[in-house]
Amino acid sequence: MRRLLPRNSLRSRLLGDLWKPLFCLLLLGAVAVFFLARHIGSSVYDRWLYDSAMTLAEQVRVEDGKAVLDLPKQAVEMFEWDQVDRIFSDVRSRRYGLIFRNSDLPPPPEELQPGQSRIFPHWVKGHAARVVAVAVPNPADPADVLVIQVAETMLKRNTLATDILVLVVPVLVVLALLVGIVVWRAVATGVRAVDQVVERLDSYGPDRLLPVGEITNAPAEVRPLLNAINQLIRRLSDLQDTQRRFIANAAHQLRTPLATLQVQTERALREPDAARHGQALSRVLKAVTRSRHLAHQLLMLARSEQSGEKALQMQEVDLAVLARDELERWIDSALQQHVDIGYDGPESGVEVYGEPVLLRELIGNLVDNAIRYGSVRDDGRRGGAVTLRLQVQPIMLVVEDDGPGIPPSERTLVLERFYRRRGAGGQGCGLGLSIAREIAQRHGARLVITDPPQGMGARVEIRFAR
């Protein structure tokens, strides 16, 4: 019951919106019953007035060639007697004037013809009354018309309508209460699905993100909400899993270079010989460089995964300009490894729809990967060539090297995170191609590893849908 009381609850709003029109309908129903009862009562009493007027018409007789209505006093008293209302009547001849009356009634309608009648409201002696006028032929003068009028005040009519209203209103109230109870239960049944969602979510611990699942008898209006909640939970669960994987991978991958860095640093501190001390510091520098590269790759991995959880800020990007600019960043690194790098493609005008920062990282990872692994020869020496090609129709970005290449049996494995081929050499951490593939997928492209046309080295293609 506590949940039903807050004003902002769904039940309160639904029931509040229901009770207001229901109360208005109750009032309208009571008013309609009152006027309907008065109309039905008026029909009955109007019929009695008509019968009374016809009774008076039958009492008209002819004396000395004139129509007269001479009723005994007792008959007049019986005719006019009523415990509640007052009765008024008169008989008029259009040619000869008033024949009989017991009160001042309005002049009868002139348009009435014999056999016709008219019922209308009128005020008689300060009282609201109903008047019936009946036209009959004058028995003493066939060319004349007699109009008999009988009027009655409306106390009985109003009393009857009020009595009926008093009887019906409690019934309407009971019906309204029953409708309210039925609607209350119906609303409770409809909202129960939301309660089940809340209960299931409350039952989950902080380390559990599970979809709500199917809710029995959930209304059609609630199902889109359930689907949206399930999708949100799945996205949050995927994000949580991604964060856990990233933390685990980062901890695992950083443990080895940091341990190496510690050992080499301690050795350098203990080394008294200047030459060996320099060699130890050189090894420390290599460990620091590898750790920095690993940290950069891990951050790029996190960025690519995060971009997968939200919409990218896509825009038109000139892939040719972007590729040439990114390639220039790797010239110094290539020269240090005795690698000749080059670009083969248009200078501009190759438009794709993408996120510039991620596309730049995609190109940089492929070029860096080719320099690191493609420049290592079987005898341990470094050197070779790396070429960045851009094809226009269809749009395809290609990075080729003339190194040892990647065997077909390992081309799927090298796309997995932290996988490194045995004897591959280089100072990589096994994330470059994995990051490149994820960025490509986010742009609707495919990463494919093939053999170069010259048959030697590795060829990585990024095939864009556009």
The domain 312-463: what is its CATH number? 3.30.565.10
For 252-270, how does the pLDDT look when each residue is reduced to its tens digit (9 = 90+)? 556 656 776 777 777 777 7
460: left (phi over 0), alpha (psi -120 to 50) or beta: beta
DSSP character string of 238-299: HHHHHHHHHHHHHHHHHHHHHHHHHHHHHHHHH--SHHHHHHHHHHHHHHHHHHHHHHHHHH
Give Cα 441 distance to the centre of its chain.
Answer: 30
Tell me if 420 sits within 8 A of 430, measured CB to CB: yes
What is residue 293's predicted lDDT score, i.e. its pLDDT? 61
| CATH 3.30.565.10 domain position(s) in the chain | 312-463
Tokens of 393: 């129709």
What is residue 309's predicted lDDT score, i.e. its pLDDT? 47
Cα separation, 358 vs 384, in Å, equals 27
Tokens of 387: 């070429």
What is residue 302's predicted lDDT score, i.e. its pLDDT? 64
Give Cα 68 distance to the centre of its chain.
Answer: 84
Per-residue DSSP letter, 401 = E
pLDDT < 50 regions, the chain: 1-5, 309
| CATH 1.10.287 domain position(s) in the chain | 206-310
What is residue 105's predicted lDDT score, i.e. its pLDDT? 84
Count CB-CB contacts under 10 A for residue 232. Answer: 12
Alpha-carbon distances, residue 397 vs 106, 111, 186 (angstroms): 106, 103, 61
For 229-240, how does the pLDDT look when each residue is reduced to its tens digit (9 = 90+)? 778 878 877 777
Residues whose CB falls within 8 Å of the CB of residue 316, separated by 6 or more in sequence, listed in order: 351, 352, 353
pTM here? 0.46
Alpha helix ranges (H) inside 309-462: 319-329, 331-336, 356-374, 432-442
Asked if CATH classification 1.10.287 holds for the domain at 206-310, the reply, yes or no, is yes
Cα separation, 195 vs 187, in Å, equals 12
What is residue 448's predicted lDDT score, i.e. its pLDDT? 92
